Each structure stands twice: as structure tokens, then as C-alpha cells.
Amino acid sequence: WAGAACLTLFLLIVGVSAFAMGDQPPSHMETIDPEKVVVTAPFDKPGLTRVGEKQYEAVMLAQAFTYTPSKMSVPKGSTVHFKVTSTDVVHGFEIPATNVNMMVTPGYVSKISYTFKKPGKYLILCNEYCGAGHQVMAVTLEVT
Ligand code: CUA
């Protein structure tokens, strides 16, 4: 009886928060109208720019379910200053095996810098559940 009572209570809480209070997963968030989102500089022209000796700035846009630009390449030993924002929902920004790991939130600019000492293909992936295509949200950064 205690188990059945707990289950009923939990289902009631989930039901009320979902249907009466509108607590839905991010893929159901419709608070942002994609037609009305204004993408201001520098995010209107995302891309990789050389800003100094082995210094690069990567201006990136996270949108369900990819990042722009989707391919970048820098020489070994370069420091990349990432500036990332989102036009829709909260996304993640992680480069496995590095300390690059941040949340990308609409309306905010997330920044992080990292020096790529080893050559190779680095995966940039989303680690925040952002909807039906979350698992395919990844791009690559090549260090040559
Ligand atoms: Cu974007 Cu998960």
C-alpha cells in the first residue's frame, strides 16, 4: 500500500507539473520564436579568425542540432578562444579529454580558451539534452 501510495503521489506531481504548470523537456520549449531571433555581431558571421601568433578566436553558434562552423582547423600549439551562444535552447559544449566543458545558453555568450598541444581530430559535442537530435550534435576541430 505504501508503494502504491508513493507511486500515485509521484505520478500526480509529474502530471501536475507537466500539464498544469507546463514543465516540459527542452524539445517542447516554445518560448523562443526562431523567426524572431535576432543574431547580433559577431554571431551573424560565425567562424574562425586568427587574432595573433598561434591565437585564434572561434565564434560559434549552437543550434539544434549542430554547431556553426562545423569544421575548423588550427596548427598544433594554437590557443583557441571560443565564444559560443545558442539561438534556441540550452546546449552543451564539451571537447572530451580536455578541460573544455561549458553550458551554452540562449541570450548569453559562453567563453573558454584552450591550447591544443597535440595534433589530431577533436570532437566538439553537446552534453546537455536539447531535443530529439541531441545525440548527433557534434562537430570536429582538426589540429594539424
Ligand atoms: Cu545540443 Cu544536446
**Structural domain tally of the chain?**
2
Do residue 52 and residue 92 come from a single domain? yes
Specify the pLDDT at position 118: 96
Q: List ligand 1's pocket residues with C-beta within 6 A.
A: 65, 91-92, 126, 128-130, 134, 137
Among candidate residues 68, 83, 63, 67, the one with its CA nearest the CA of residue 131: 63
Specify the pLDDT at position 36: 75
Residue 39 lies in a domain: no
The whole-angstrom separation of Cα 134 and Cα 9 is 31
Confidence of residue 90 (pLDDT cuts 50, 70, 90): very high
Among candidate residues 99, 87, 84, 88, the one with its CA nearest the CA of residue 139: 84
The CATH number assigned to the domain holding 100 equals 2.60.40.420
What separation in Å is there between the alpha carbon of 121 and the centre of ligand 1?
A: 20
What separation in Å is there between the alpha carbon of 126 and the centre of ligand 1?
A: 4
Residue 41 lies in a domain: no
Percentage of the chain beyond pLDDT 90 is 78
- 4 lies in which domain range? 1-30
Q: What is the pLDDT of residues 27-50, one digit of tens each?
A: 555 556 667 778 888 999 999 999
Residue nearest to atom 1 of ligand 1 (CA): 91
127 phi and psi angles, rounded to 5 deg: -120, 20
The whole-angstrom separation of Cα 29 and Cα 71 is 28
Q: Of residues 22 and 108, which shows the higher confidence score?
A: 108
In this structure, the chain runs to a length of 144
Residue 109 lies in a domain: yes
What separation in Å is there between the alpha carbon of 101 and the centre of ligand 1?
A: 13
What separation in Å is there between the alpha carbon of 98 and the centre of ligand 1?
A: 19
Q: What is the pLDDT of residues 107-135, one digit of tens each?
A: 889 999 999 999 999 999 999 999 999 99
Do residue 137 and residue 80 come from a single domain? yes
For this complex, say whether ipTM is above 0.95.
Answer: yes
Do residue 74 and residue 130 come from a single domain? yes
